[in-house]
Amino acid sequence: MSITSCDTCPLRVMPLFVALSAEELAFMRRFKTGEQTVDRNTPILHEGHRSPTLYTVLSGIGTRSVLLEDGRRQVINFVFPGDFIGLQSSLMGEMKHTVTSTTPMVLCTFDRNRLWEMFRDHAERAYDLTWIAAVEEHFLGETIATLGQRDAKERLAWAFLRIWRRLSAVGLLRDGSVPLPFRQQDMAEALGLSLVHTNKTVARLKDNGHAIWQAGRLSIPDMKVLADVAGVADERAELRPIL
């Protein structure tokens, strides 16, 4: 399998991502060690383990989850193209959650041992990494607010909006819909809902013409209307760096 060059990365040219300078691009060529292809339902990073590898998702979709003491799994959020994963292992000694592929995925791989070089010699890239970590913290706060203050319909509308914006911004919008290959159980766990409640709410959103999630695809007839249902502003996905 040929390895995608950083110079011709299909994600880097997407309007969602901040453009790299020539110096930053040269560093990323050196930092990248290769690519890894995984089948669907494959663990990529394991909770409790230390990984020597960092990853950027080049293509495909996955889930982040934690394992409870009694063996139950809890989905905490989702992984999309452009996401940088594995940093937790680098800074905390081990992964505190598991990352699993939901679809086949292609991952750019980086040597964790060279992370210090980024902070020492490439301040702009180090800042980008800090920005990514800060956004994850912000998303966690937004998720907690959603779980605490929004009802089931608002939670699903909020999640559908975020996912649709992100996936359409990385070029996955086709014929008015984006891929949403998760099980309803995955979405229920991520949003703190029962499977039955999730199923009924998905059906209600469809019946009202607000959002249609079926056959692994999500379509939203009117973003502003769905944003009103979720109680949020109808905004574009925020410009973000890519590693």
Residue 235 lies in a domain: no
Residue 73 has pLDDT above 60, yes or no: yes
Contact 76, 66 (CB under 8 A): yes
pLDDT for residue 69: 78
What pTM did the predictor assign? 0.86
Q: What is the pLDDT of residue 140?
A: 64
- CA torsion sign, 138 to 213 to 66 to 54? negative
Is residue 133 assigned to a domain? no
Q: Any idea what the CATH number is for the domain that residue 99 is in? A: 2.60.120.10
- With bands split at pLDDT 50, 70 and 90, how would you rate the model's confidence at 4? confident
Query: Strand 43-45's sheet: what is its strand order?
Result: 43-45, 98-101, 62-67, 73-79
Do 110 and 205 belong to one domain? no
DSSP 80-133: -TT-EE-HHHHHHSS-SSEEEESS-EEEEEEEGGGHHHHHHH-HHHHHHHHHHH
Q: Would the pLDDT of 106 be above 90?
A: yes
Q: Do 53 and 151 fall within a single domain? A: no
The CA dihedral of 33, 169, 10, 95, to the nearest 10 degrees, is: 10
Dist. CA 143–CA 158, nearest whole Å:
10
Mean pLDDT for the stretch of residues 33-42: 92
Do the domain assignments include residue 73? Answer: yes
- Looking at the structure, tell me whether residues 67 and 150 fall in a common domain: no
Same domain? For 118 and 148 the reply is no
Percentage of the chain modeled with pLDDT above 90: 33
Q: Is the pLDDT of residue 92 over 70?
A: no
Residue 138 scores a pLDDT above 60: no
Q: Is the pLDDT of residue 139 over 70?
A: no
Is 160 in the same domain as 78? Answer: no
Number of structural domains, the chain?
2
Task: Give me the CATH number covering residue 168.
Answer: 1.10.10.10
Between 112 and 56, whose confidence is greater? 56
176 is a domain residue:
yes
Q: Which domain holds residue 178?
A: 143-230
pLDDT band at 145 (very low <50, low <70, confident <90, very high): low
Residue 17 shares a structural domain with residue 82: yes
Q: Does one domain contain both 68 and 167?
A: no
Asked, for residue 48, whether it belongs to a domain, the answer is yes
Q: Which amino acid is at 74?
A: Q
Residues 168 and 114 occupy one common structural domain = no
Residue 182 covered by a domain:
yes
- Which residues make Cβ contacts (< 8 Å) with residue 236, sequence separation at least 6? 165, 169
Can you name the residues that pair with 107 across neighbouring β-strands?
36, 57
End position of a domain, from candidates 91, 122, 153: 122
SS3 170: coil
